[in-house]
Chains A and B, each alone.
Chain A
Amino acid sequence: MTEFFIIAESASQSGIPLGITSGGSWLLRNAWIIPLLPALSFLGILFFGKRMPKKGAELGITAVGAAFVLAVLTGIAWFDHRDNYHGEEAHLAVVASEHHAEEGHSDHEKEHDEHSDYDHGHGHSSLAVSNTVTWFQTNGVDLSVGVLVDGLSVMMLFVVTLISLLVHIYSTDYVGGDRRYTHYFAFLSLFSASMLTLVISENTLQLLVAWELVGVCSFALIGHWWEEKPNSDAALKAFLTNRVGDMGLLVGVTILFFSVGSVLPDTFGSFSIAVTNTVANNGLLSHTALLVAAACLMAAVMSKSGQFFLHTWLPDAMAGPTPVSALIHAATMVVAGVFMIARLYGVFFEGLSIGGSSINLMALVGGITTLVGASLAFVQRDIKKVLAYSTISQLGYMVLALGVGAWTAAVFHLFTHAFFKACLFLGSGSVAHAVHSFDMKSDMGGMRKAMPHTYRTFIIGSIALAGLPPLAGFWSKDEILAGTGGWGLFGGTGGNGAYTLMLVMGMITAALTAAYMTRCVYLTFFGEFRGHGDLHESGPRIVVPLWILAGFAVIAGLFNLPKGFQLVPDSFQERFGHYVEPVAGYFPTIAHATPSWSLAIVSTLIVLGGVTAAWWYYFVKVEAASKAAGKSLTELPNGPTTVYPLAKLIHNLLDKKYYLDHLYTGIIAGGTKGPLARVAYRFNQQVIDGTVDRVGETAVKSGQFVYDKIDQLVVDGAVNTSGRLSSEAGGELRKVQSGKVQSYAAILFAAATVLAGILIVIV
């Protein structure tokens, strides 16, 4: 960054405080080592993996394990830094007009006052640690690479390394003996390295690079068994859909680069996240630019984090190995979009006016996504697809939370979701490993006796997902619901505005989530076994990670008990929020909702209602029908879809995934590529081929002409004539050699005379 100078915290500030510092503990400043370890292991596995005794897996596990240890230590260092650091804060000099800056300041002053009642009082500011090196400078722009470590990145480091480590260990059993075992681990390492780079990126350029890299790893890992066409198709679909969103990312980043540059002296752009956020927070950027940038970035979030309508790749991505689904498409990569919003929250907060309205693009998208995901999860036969749609739905929750201004709630939900969703996915993998299929309706059922550990961890994960207290999902979901601010009527106050619609969406989704998870549990673990083969529990390398994740699913909620939760002392409340949510110049001032008991009770009742409804349908009626029919049924033979035409219609709609795939592949892609292909084909045949043909014909004809006229007549003629001439001349000249002396003499004399004549005349 050019033109930022460090002055002491207490001195009078002649620049805008950025909320970052370049001091801090060694671990925080050198957090780039954490992604470096998996990156090195990627290279090591690529080059040496095949020769190692465990085919490279040991290298991957060691690297990720070491990264995990470092992440934990960095986390501890951060706790200390957050509370006790009193170093120098960096400030930013801007060339914005005073008038503009004042306006911004005054607005924020006002807001701050209004919401002071709801202030969290998180103590003194948390200075993120920023450590950069200049990569190259050009024309006044400094491009640098570096780390920006704050609570959010430390939390993400922990989550990514932990789940990556557990997935590595799980994979040694799940994909053991696979044809591309080494490559699999190489890509797992590369993915871990990219995701870790993403979470500690200091600027949007680095973020973009890491974003693309995780997309590539996703593509490679989804298509791990690319010999089967559906798998390679799914990988392509994932990559191309992400590409559509990445256009938005690129445009958004560029817009921000230039907008920020317009207020900075001496440079025409800056990629720095801290600078961008700070400048946005202080109202120095034009609202339109921020709105457009936020909208473009939303497109990227929609594709990467599976929001409606770019979510279609996520269910198909289940074609990859299950540990990959757990790591990438549940816990880490898909949350990259959410992470990006959380990182650039200043931009979104200002751009989409989150603090002051009742509906905005982000909240709407998030809300719709939760409903769409939850509704589609009902009609799936494949257990992984249920979980995929569930992931879409939960990501919708996170985006919705960010859209209503509940930042901490969203990030906390990200945290808890990573654990229980990974637990559920790995559990489904364990089940599939036993029956060699993912189809619940035809190959599973009644597996709880044969696979007790898997069953128990799956139940724990499901309860956490549904959001029943005291498991993790309850706390995070409840915080989101509170954050919508629509509960003002029943005690407790909203946060930034009253997003009543979002609250309703969230509640409905909670019920649906509970219901489809109950359905999933019934079809997999209850009833009679419909598959083939003998069942046995999976080995320890599968079961142990399951229990670890289940354990986290249980206790993770306790990290962020809401403020005002009377059952625990003050110092134990909102630990997560205290350490993760930034209080710094680069984070907008947001208001926090106070949760209420009434909300908690009502949401729990709704969840229980969903569970009950599903229970009644499956555990009671389907079970009875199964007993009556004498075989294991998966749905009622005369169920609602056969009786009510509306139900059948709805079922059809859900089955066809809202016809979105048809829209994308058939109409948009087909409608574009069809005519294009025809035009190109016609162009090829007539113009290109025509030209080539004509050239060929011309060549043939001209060759013919040249042959006939020129070669035969002229060239051959010349050659023949010269030959004939020579021979005739020879024939003629031969007559001179008559053998007669006198003719020789005659020639001699004649020549001498002529020469003499010439000599006389000339000389």
Chain B
Amino acid sequence: MYLNQFLLLSAVLFAIGVYGVLARRNGVLVLMSIELILNAVNINLVAFAAFRESIPGEVFALFVIAVAAAEVGVGLAMILLLYRNRRNIDLTEIDLMKG
């Protein structure tokens, strides 16, 4: 197996995730896209760990999963708050910091 195929896969998923983050109007969908990105990164990490036969890559991937979990929790809490205050979670409507 070539290393490149995993890395390219990871890159593609990452790009799709970026598209999702930038294009989606729904906040929850944005969070999901973020998860997609994180997963792409995880694949990358583990691919390198396998390539080098070293453990730290996998350990890092574990930590990423843990952090992703924490982040999702907090992110959804924020979305909930947003929903409660504004009754919609359309990110394009949130432009109070407009210049």
Q: Which residues of A pack against B, CB within 8 Å?
A: 734, 736-742, 745-746, 749
Contact B91 A742 (CB under 8 A): yes
Is residue B87 contacting chain A, with contact meaning CB distance below 8 A?
no
Chain B residues closer than 8 Å to A736, beta-carbon distance: 99
Contact B97 A737 (CB under 8 A): yes
Contact B18 A742 (CB under 8 A): no
Query: Which residues of B (1-55) have their CB < 8 Å from a CB of A?
Result: 18, 21-24, 30
With A737-B97, A749-B18 known, 6 other A-B pairs at CB within 8 A are A734-B99, A738-B98, A739-B96, A739-B97, A740-B91, A740-B95
Q: What range describes how many residues of B lie at the interface? A: 10 to 19
Contact A739 B94 (CB under 8 A): yes
CA distance A737 to B99 in the complex (A): 5
Contact A739 B95 (CB under 8 A): yes
Task: Give min CB distance, A606 to chain B, whole Å.
Answer: 128
Name B96's closest neighbour in chain A (CB-CB).
A739
Chain A residues closer than 8 Å to B23, beta-carbon distance: 742
Chain B residues closer than 8 Å to A738, beta-carbon distance: 95, 98-99
Is residue B85 contacting chain A, with contact meaning CB distance below 8 A?
no
Contact A739 B91 (CB under 8 A): no
Task: Give min CB distance, A4 to chain B, whole Å.
Answer: 107
Task: Give min CB distance, A746 to chain B, whole Å.
Answer: 5
List 13 A-B pairs, Cβ < 8 Å: A736-B99, A738-B95, A738-B98, A739-B95, A739-B97, A740-B92, A740-B94, A742-B23, A742-B91, A742-B92, A745-B21, A745-B22, A746-B22
CA distance A614 to B94 in the complex (A): 137
CA distance A499 to B81 in the complex (A): 146
Among the listed A737, A739, A749, which residue makes an inter-chain contact with B22, where contact means beta carbons less than 8 Å apart? Answer: A749
CA distance A737 to B96 in the complex (A): 10
Chain A residues closer than 8 Å to B21, beta-carbon distance: 742, 745
Name B97's closest neighbour in chain A (CB-CB).
A739
CA distance A739 to B23 in the complex (A): 15
Query: Which residues of B (50-99) have their CB < 8 Å from a CB of A?
Result: 91-92, 94-99
Contact A739 B18 (CB under 8 A): no
Contact A741 B99 (CB under 8 A): no
Contact A737 B92 (CB under 8 A): no
Chain B residues closer than 8 Å to A741, beta-carbon distance: 91, 94
Sorted nearest first, the 4 A-B pairs with minimum C-beta distance are A737-B99, A739-B95, A739-B98, A739-B97
Among the listed B18, B30, B94, B98, which residue makes an inter-chain contact with A737, where contact means beta carbons less than 8 Å apart? Answer: B98
Chain B residues closer than 8 Å to A745, beta-carbon distance: 21-22
Instruction: Identify which of B91, B96, B99 gathers the most chain A CB atoms within 10 Å of its CB.
Output: B99
Task: Give min CB distance, B55 to chain A, whole Å.
Answer: 27
Task: Give min CB distance, B34 to chain A, whole Å.
Answer: 10
Chain A residues closer than 8 Å to B92, beta-carbon distance: 740, 742
Name B24's closest neighbour in chain A (CB-CB).
A742
Name A744's closest neighbour in chain B (CB-CB).
B97
Name B25's closest neighbour in chain A (CB-CB).
A742
CA distance A739 to B95 in the complex (A): 4
Chain A residues closer than 8 Å to B95, beta-carbon distance: 738-740
CA distance A746 to B96 in the complex (A): 18
CA distance A739 to B96 in the complex (A): 6
Chain B residues closer than 8 Å to A737, beta-carbon distance: 97-99
Task: Give min CB distance, A560 to chain B, whole Å.
Answer: 123
Chain A residues closer than 8 Å to B24, beta-carbon distance: 742
Task: Give min CB distance, B12 to chain A, whole Å.
Answer: 14
Instruction: Identify which of A734, A739, A745, A746 gathers the most chain B CB atoms within 10 Å of its CB.
Output: A739
CA distance A15 to B97 in the complex (A): 120
Task: Give min CB distance, A755 to chain B, whole Å.
Answer: 15
CA distance A341 to B85 in the complex (A): 129
CA distance A489 to B98 in the complex (A): 139
Task: Give min CB distance, B17 to chain A, whole Å.
Answer: 10
Chain A residues closer than 8 Å to B91, beta-carbon distance: 740-742
CA distance A739 to B90 in the complex (A): 13
Instruction: Identify which of A738, A741, A749 gathers the most chain B CB atoms within 10 Å of its CB.
Output: A741
Contact A742 B99 (CB under 8 A): no
CA distance A211 to B54 in the complex (A): 122
CA distance A280 to B98 in the complex (A): 115
Name B99's closest neighbour in chain A (CB-CB).
A737
CA distance A745 to B19 in the complex (A): 11
Task: Give min CB distance, A749 to chain B, whole Å.
Answer: 6
CA distance A736 to B23 in the complex (A): 16
Task: Give min CB distance, B30 to chain A, whole Å.
Answer: 8
CA distance A520 to B96 in the complex (A): 123
Chain B residues closer than 8 Å to A746, beta-carbon distance: 22
Task: Give min CB distance, B94 to chain A, whole Å.
Answer: 7
Chain A residues closer than 8 Å to B96, beta-carbon distance: 739
Task: Give min CB distance, A757 to chain B, whole Å.
Answer: 13
Task: Give min CB distance, A750 to chain B, whole Å.
Answer: 9
CA distance A14 to B1 in the complex (A): 137
Contact B98 A742 (CB under 8 A): no
Chain B residues closer than 8 Å to A742, beta-carbon distance: 21-24, 30, 91-92
CA distance A39 to B91 in the complex (A): 111
Chain A residues closer than 8 Å to B94, beta-carbon distance: 739-741
Chain B residues closer than 8 Å to A749, beta-carbon distance: 18, 22
CA distance A421 to B91 in the complex (A): 129
CA distance A737 to B18 in the complex (A): 20
CA distance A749 to B91 in the complex (A): 18
CA distance A734 to B98 in the complex (A): 9
Task: Give min CB distance, B19 to chain A, whole Å.
Answer: 10
CA distance A746 to B92 in the complex (A): 13
Task: Give min CB distance, B78 to chain A, whole Å.
Answer: 12
CA distance A745 to B98 in the complex (A): 15
Chain A residues closer than 8 Å to B97, beta-carbon distance: 737, 739
Chain B residues closer than 8 Å to A740, beta-carbon distance: 91-92, 94-95
CA distance A749 to B24 in the complex (A): 15
CA distance A251 to B24 in the complex (A): 114
CA distance A737 to B95 in the complex (A): 9
Task: Give min CB distance, B11 to chain A, whole Å.
Answer: 11
CA distance A742 to B97 in the complex (A): 13
Task: Give min CB distance, B90 to chain A, whole Å.
Answer: 10
Name A733's closest neighbour in chain B (CB-CB).
B99
CA distance A423 to B53 in the complex (A): 145
Task: Give min CB distance, B41 to chain A, whole Å.
Answer: 14
CA distance A737 to B98 in the complex (A): 5
CA distance A739 to B91 in the complex (A): 10
CA distance A740 to B24 in the complex (A): 12
Task: Give min CB distance, B37 to chain A, whole Å.
Answer: 10
Name A737's closest neighbour in chain B (CB-CB).
B99
Chain A residues closer than 8 Å to B22, beta-carbon distance: 742, 745-746, 749
Task: Give min CB distance, A588 to chain B, whole Å.
Answer: 116
CA distance A304 to B24 in the complex (A): 120
CA distance A734 to B99 in the complex (A): 6
Name B98's closest neighbour in chain A (CB-CB).
A739
CA distance A746 to B99 in the complex (A): 17
Task: Give min CB distance, B70 to chain A, whole Å.
Answer: 20
Name B22's closest neighbour in chain A (CB-CB).
A746
CA distance A165 to B22 in the complex (A): 122
CA distance A746 to B22 in the complex (A): 6
Name A741's closest neighbour in chain B (CB-CB).
B91
Chain A residues closer than 8 Å to B99, beta-carbon distance: 734, 736-739
Name A753's closest neighbour in chain B (CB-CB).
B18
CA distance A749 to B18 in the complex (A): 8
CA distance A742 to B23 in the complex (A): 7
Task: Give min CB distance, A728 to chain B, whole Å.
Answer: 15
Task: Give min CB distance, A760 to chain B, whole Å.
Answer: 13
CA distance A436 to B22 in the complex (A): 122
CA distance A736 to B97 in the complex (A): 11
Name A747's closest neighbour in chain B (CB-CB).
B22
CA distance A736 to B98 in the complex (A): 9
Chain B residues closer than 8 Å to A739, beta-carbon distance: 94-99
